[in-house]
Amino acid sequence: MSANLYELLASRFPADRDAPCFILADGSEINYGALEAAAARVAARLVNGGVQPGDRVALQAEKSPEAIMIYLGALMAGAVFLPLNAAYTKSEVDYFLADAEPKVFVSDPPAFVRETNGTVGLAQAVAREAGDLASLIYTSGTTGRSKGAMLSHGNLAENALALHAAWGFSSKDVLLHALPVFHVHGLFVALHCALLAGAPMIWLPKFTDAEVLAGLRRATVMMGVPTFYTRLLGNPDFTRESAANMRVFISGSAPLLPSTFVEFEQRTGQRILERYGMSEAVIITSNPLEGERVPGSVGFPLPRVDLRIGGGEETGVIQIRGPSVFSAYWRMPEKTAEEFTPDGFFITGDVGRIDAGGRVWISGRAKDLIISGGYNVYPKEVELVLDELPGIGESAVIGLPHPDFGEGVAAICTGDGDEAAIIAAAHQQLAGFKTPKRVIFVPDLPRNAMGKVQKNVLRQAYEGLFKA
């Protein structure tokens, strides 16, 4: 067996290929045999069409089982899979296509897969080495043009096997999959765990309360972003009984509020398992399946992941190294060189610390660090205080230009509270330089597709707050 990721995944499919892989919202099923046959036909079509090992295959479409058939077929053909957000505009897509230069661009997966009917499937996967490129994942590009993280077959295999073991997946599991598949969370983290276990997935196009609640009755594992869990908590039909069949709830892609963690446990009796990852390394740390899951902590580094804090301080930028960490940014040698240390650690840009027990705590992004009057302010520390105050639903703390302090601390919050009272209450727990100088209430915080608050959008919107 070569190091082609497809071969690893297919080697774990159920012996009985009639076993369900996708359980659709309408109750219909697609079995593992159909998935395998479709991937082989897609691979044959790509190879017959001139796709060579290393050529890129791009896909932009809504979530569907056929999108996964194309992903697996691209792997099988030795191609490099490039998933694109279905919400991207033409101008955004034009950038990715010009940068990645894919040999094939698919925008209608069901039609593409249908057109392979009658095609003789590829008999075996194209041989690949562990270091060969398997996927290009473009980062969000909030501070410049998007960068393509180059993930190899070995990177993805290492991470998939580590998560499969860490989270105790087996063929008895049923994964509730309501995540998008243009992102590492839905495409790699969730999908690979299920495929390696030969387990079925309840396959939902997106999160809806009714479909997720119905799926929980059959599922044993759910992976989601924090907004999934806050939406469930906001629904009175989500009860301890509705979660009784679940083995574990896993959260990532954005910080989980400790208050959500506590409320979820009170409602269901279960503690959400939070983990930490990014496009360049998939999953980096995880709270334990067996053992204490601490609210606010993202747990321990996965096996074979070296994690350290740069700068020699207790809190600083997290650096990582290991076989699941990407090798480079696509066609950006200078950017790659900037973001790796001389001894091979990737500089994540996330600020955090490691406690005495080895647990990792994330304070925020380095670019979100606020320097007010010469003092460093980590937004997460302020947000944790604000989120517990009456009248605040959720806070996003940002630094804005200030005539006296360079940057002033501002809090953009959901809810409905008294600004002066909140500032006074926060000051009881925070030093003066950390205490927000303004608290602004908004109906909702801007988020990206994976639920992360877009602080760059808030900084632009309120840039003149302290200049008035």
Using an 8 Å Cβ cutoff, are 49 and 18 in contact?
no
Q: Which residue has the higher pLDDT, 257 or 217?
A: 217
Q: What is the helix (H) or strand (E) element at residue 286, kind and residue range?
A: strand 282-286
What do you get for the CA distance between the two ends of the chain, in Å? 66
- Predicted pLDDT of residue 143: 47
DSSP annotation of 256 reads: P
Using an 8 Å Cβ cutoff, are 278 and 269 in contact?
no
**Taking 80 as the threshold, does the pLDDT of residue 140 lie above it?**
no
Q: CA–CA separation, 428 vs 423, rounded Å?
A: 9
DSSP annotation of 188 reads: I
Which stretches of 234-358 are DSSP H helices? 258-268, 333-338
Which two structure tokens, joined as six digits, stand for 239? 């009860």
Model confidence at 142, pLDDT cuts 50, 70, 90, reads: very low
- Predicted pLDDT of residue 449: 85
Instruction: Encode pLDDT of 402-425 as tens digits.
Output: 988 989 999 999 999 999 999 999
Instruction: Encode pLDDT of 5-43 as tens digits.
Output: 999 999 999 999 999 999 999 999 999 999 999 999 999
Q: CA–CA separation, 436 vs 468, rounded Å?
A: 16
**Taking 90 as the threshold, does the pLDDT of residue 437 lie above it?**
yes
**Taking 80 as the threshold, does the pLDDT of residue 144 lie above it?**
no
**Taking 80 as the threshold, does the pLDDT of residue 377 lie above it?**
yes
- Predicted pLDDT of residue 79: 99
Q: What is the mean pLDDT of residues 320-346?
A: 97
Fold of 369-461: GMP Synthetase; Chain A, domain 3 (3.30.300)
Report which residue type is found at 348: T
* Four-way CATH pick for 5-360: 3.40.640.10, 3.40.50.720, 3.30.360.10, 3.40.50.12780: 3.40.50.12780
Q: What is the pTM of this model?
A: 0.90
Sequence spans of domains, the chain = 5-360, 369-461
Q: CA–CA separation, 58 vs 322, rounded Å?
A: 27
Instruction: Encode pLDDT of 50-59 as tens digits.
Output: 999 999 999 9
Which two structure tokens, joined as six digits, stand for 104? 């094939």
